[in-house]
Structure 1
Amino acid sequence: MNPSSPQLLKFVGRQPVMAASPPLAPTAPRVAEPAPRSRAGRFTVLVLEGEYRLTGAVLFCLSRQPGLRVHLLTRDARSPYRFSSYVRATHAAPAGLPDAGLAAYAAEVALATGAEVLLPVDVPGMRFAIAQRPALETALRVLPLPTAAYYEIAADKGLLAAFMQYHRIPAPDTIVDIQTNLAAKLARFRFPVLLKPIDGAGGHGIVKYASAETLLAAVAALPASSRYIVQNCVPGYDIDCNVLYHNGRLVAHSIQKGLVPTAGEYAPTEAIEFVRNDAVLAVVDRLMRALHWNGVAHLDLRYDTRDHQIKVIEINTRFWLTVVGSALAARVNFPALACLVAAGRPVAPAPYALGRYIPFASFWKLRYGQRERRPGDIRFDLRDTSVRAFLSDPLTKLYRFFTDKD
């Protein structure tokens, strides 16, 4: 199947084609001569800064890898991570530099610092690295990444639903095109259903509807430019899978279940337990092989209690916030492993550990917050938390606290 074929992409429309970027801005600094590459057992990584919390999670994980040195590449000269104890130096690209210019600047930084790997942390960073890979790879290697077409399928809920229907991957029943004959399509649907924004994250924007009439009225009121899908609700429980693939081969994974209800009905839980589940891994591997996946991903899945089947809900095509939990509790350090794979270093296969994880802030609220304790509540202790990550990098957190205008 051609992943970029109109037959697949027509359901939700394609991403706009970007014009060729202008040449490198003349203000970009030049580097006279390259720094030596890292000695055996040690290497340097250039982290492309992304969303604040994801960047912090990835930097903490990298700090736990012996011999790994981190330089930060950022578009923001005022980045709070210029104060990070995990970062050797921060390299701020000149303001207004287009993507092609940023790629050239990254190559220059790599030559100056001896960086071997570029590590983006979020979706914009991954898209940048995929688009600019030829220019970047003149100076350093890039985190394993799939082709642009497969990445966009995985990142788009509508494209992914159509792709899974085509490949018969277990997933919720989904209406991808809600603008055409929706009433007729809903006649074959079980209610309640969810109306989901295609580009939503963290459960934001998802609304449940108990009847076709209320759903049709809501869809009719949507702006013409909005992009949504309709999925039936899957009774059961959430179970997620974290993976690292390299050229179609599974390098590492961990499987986690939520332990504490969230404030929002569709928001992800942060308190998790790492478990083993062969059925989850089998479904995930089928999908990721169909996508010819390369790199990291976090898959949201749900066990359907009606047909006793694991179903894929969506894919987070980036690092995830509980990556710290994977490193601490499951002892699978995905950012560090991705760097080792990209650098061509050996990675020994090892099973992940079982255990619990809760961010320290969530632990504090659960232990000392106002909510009354209920029978059956799970009790956590400091060994289950990210207290080390929470207390680390205090200057970064203080700077953001005093300067954040959000």
Structure 2
Amino acid sequence: MAISVLIPDGESHLLIYVINTLSQAKEVNIYVMSNIRHIPVRYSRRIQNFSYFPKTNDELVWINNVKEESERHNIDLILPIFEDAIETLSKYKNEIIFKDKLCLLPNNVDYNKANNKWSLAEHLLVNNMSFPRSALYSKLNPDAFKHFRFPVIIKPILKSGGGVGVCLFNNNEELQIYLLDNNFDKERIIQEYVNGYDIGCSVLCQSGSILAFTIQKATMVNSNPFEPLLGVEFVYDDALFELVNKLMMSLNWSGVAHIDLRFDVDNNIYKVIEVNTRFWGSLEASMIAGVNFPYLHCLASLNKNFERPEYNLVKYLNLKGLVKSMLKNIALFLNFKFIMNNTPVRFALKDPLPTILKYMFFAKNIFMSKLKNKLKLRVNSMR
């Protein structure tokens, strides 16, 4: 039986990954609404319909737009994929008349506890779970990190996805210069840097119980180490799973999440860094490993039982990681089996237009940014 699924926040950069994985389930018909009129996935052969609604800051207007779109296409499930939509629907889910169509979502209190990095740190402390030494920095508490061991990391307590606003400081002098140069009007969290390596756990949960998961270890980092990884290797570790399982149970989590951790090589322990309360950029990697998180999310939301899937311990490179690897090892050009089985190339070849447009838009934005900077420099030089 076909399942009609509406993604109400198609403006998210995660949309293409969700579409590429969810569409692997042939019985799913995908509908997308977005507050951006022209996005690459609009031209995907994998979606049934695309609808544009102007951006609004009124949450109730947006919810009504979702309701109208749901009724227009006789939608079975509404699947938000990014923080704003998940938070809004979670906040109002008991008042929404179409709440029976909502995919599994966390309780709003639990959502905010996990999404706010300082609230999460307090939760981890109370529940005796390992995490980096942390402090809340503000103008009113400038000495919060007085006894910290350097290096330290400073970041926003909300929405630092993709490494935005995350900075590493090797000593107190560097940090003090940064704090003086940036007159923060909002609180920041400061954490001691964990000497070790990045590792993450992606989960789908229902009332704290993990229905599906994958664990992936970093194999290739970005030029900015706080930006999304370029390569991962899927692994399994009992200690890490038990830590994540305890965390999800303590949050009574429902829906998806991606937990960022670091393995502390000095103390031989995993430490929770943060919880991404949404889908994640390596969804295609999870799919290649054998776990289709968006589809399983739909099944769980429809109360359809399934066994917790086992995943394959494979290596994965995203497109940027693949290009960097090819530049280092020209022989990789000829390794068609790896390219098709361990990278997102397979998804792009079956539906090429969204990927082509994505990188065209990306190149255009870079060009326009450089052009604006040149014009700005020229204007300044003429003054």
TM-score over 0.5 for the pair: yes
Residue 381 (structure 1) aligned with residue 352 (structure 2): no
CA pair 72-135 structure 1, distance change in 2 beyond 3 A? farther
2:77 to 99, 102, 117: 117
Using the size of structure 2 for normalisation, the TM-score is: 0.85
Aligned length in residues: 357
Number of the residue aligned with 2:42: 82
What do the CA deviations read for 1:140-188 (whole angstroms, capped 9, x no partner)?
Answer: 52121112222122112222122212222100000124444543x4443
Secondary structure of 2:261's counterpart equals strand
Amino acid at match of 2:346: R
Amino acid at match of 2:68: E
For residues 65-76 of structure 1, the aligned pairs below 5 Å read: 65-76=25-36
CA pair 238-97 structure 1, distance change in 2 beyond 3 A? closer
1:195 to 141, 144, 154: 154
What is the Cα deviation at residue 49 of structure 1?
3.0
Number of the residue aligned with 1:22: none
When structure 1 is superposed on structure 2, of 288-297 and 388-397 the one drifting more is 388-397
What do the CA deviations read for 1:164-215 (whole angstroms, capped 9, x no partner)?
Answer: 12222100000124444543x4443212212223232222332222333442
Q: Quick one: distance in 2 between partners of 1:229 and 1:94?
A: 34
For residues 30-41 of structure 1, the aligned pairs below 5 Å read: 41=1
Q: Quick one: distance in 1 between partners of 2:276 and 2:246?
A: 17
Q: Quick one: distance in 1 between partners of 2:104 and 2:147?
A: 41
1:345 to 304, 308, 312: 304
What is the Cα deviation at residue 223 of structure 1?
1.7
What do the CA deviations read for 1:43-79 (whole angstroms, capped 9, x no partner)?
Answer: 1111123455310000011111131111112223334
CA pair 89-278 structure 1, distance change in 2 beyond 3 A? same
1:364 to 311, 323, 327: 323
Secondary structure of 1:327's counterpart equals helix
Q: Is the 8 Å Cα contact of residues 156 and 189 (structure 2) preserved in structure 1?
A: yes
Residue 159 (structure 1) aligned with residue 93 (structure 2): no
Secondary structure of 2:79's counterpart equals strand
When structure 1 is superposed on structure 2, of 384-393 and 282-291 the one drifting more is 384-393
Q: Is the 8 Å Cα contact of residues 11 and 39 (structure 2) preserved in structure 1?
A: no
Tell me the percent identity.
28
What is the Cα deviation at residue 358 of structure 1?
1.1
Q: Greater helix percent: which structure?
A: 2
Number of the residue aligned with 2:293: 334
Number of the residue aligned with 2:271: 311
CA pair 372-129 structure 1, distance change in 2 beyond 3 A? same
Number of the residue aligned with 1:108: 68
Q: Quick one: distance in 2 between partners of 1:97 and 1:229?
A: 27
Number of the residue aligned with 1:33: none
1:270 to 222, 225, 230: 230
Q: Is the 8 Å Cα contact of residues 50 and 125 (structure 1) preserved in structure 2?
A: no
CA pair 95-348 structure 1, distance change in 2 beyond 3 A? same
What is the Cα deviation at residue 217 of structure 1?
3.8
Secondary structure of 1:395's counterpart equals helix
Number of the residue aligned with 1:288: 248
What is the Cα deviation at residue 398 of structure 1?
4.3
What is the Cα deviation at residue 287 of structure 1?
1.4
What is the Cα deviation at residue 224 of structure 1?
3.7
What do the CA deviations read for 1:246-283 (whole angstroms, capped 9, x no partner)?
Answer: 12211000000011232113223121111111111111
CA pair 135-103 structure 1, distance change in 2 beyond 3 A? farther
Amino acid at match of 2:186: S
CA pair 233-141 structure 1, distance change in 2 beyond 3 A? same
Secondary structure of 1:279's counterpart equals helix
What is the Cα deviation at residue 102 of structure 1?
2.7
What is the Cα deviation at residue 344 of structure 1?
2.0
CA pair 213-400 structure 1, distance change in 2 beyond 3 A? closer
What is the Cα deviation at residue 42 of structure 1?
2.2
Contiguous gaps of at least 5 residues in structure 2: 331-335, 366-383
CA pair 207-108 structure 1, distance change in 2 beyond 3 A? closer
Aligned CA-pair RMSD: 2.5
Q: Quick one: distance in 2 between partners of 1:278 and 1:108?
A: 46
CA pair 132-83 structure 1, distance change in 2 beyond 3 A? farther
Q: Quick one: distance in 2 between partners of 1:97 and 1:228?
A: 25
2:209 to 249, 253, 256: 249
Q: Quick one: distance in 2 between partners of 1:380 and 1:211?
A: 46
CA pair 347-217 structure 1, distance change in 2 beyond 3 A? same
Q: Is the 8 Å Cα contact of residues 199 and 218 (structure 2) preserved in structure 1?
A: yes
What is the Cα deviation at residue 388 of structure 1?
1.4
What is the Cα deviation at residue 116 of structure 1?
1.0
Secondary structure of 2:239's counterpart equals helix
CA pair 95-306 structure 1, distance change in 2 beyond 3 A? closer
Q: Is the 8 Å Cα contact of residues 145 and 190 (structure 2) preserved in structure 1?
A: no
CA pair 207-165 structure 1, distance change in 2 beyond 3 A? same
Amino acid at match of 1:392: K
Secondary structure of 1:120's counterpart equals coil
Q: Quick one: distance in 1 between partners of 2:195 and 2:57?
A: 48
What is the Cα deviation at residue 94 of structure 1?
5.6
Q: Quick one: distance in 2 between partners of 1:96 and 1:188?
A: 45
CA pair 97-203 structure 1, distance change in 2 beyond 3 A? closer
Using the size of structure 1 for normalisation, the TM-score is: 0.81
Number of the residue aligned with 2:283: 323
What is the Cα deviation at residue 390 of structure 1?
2.3
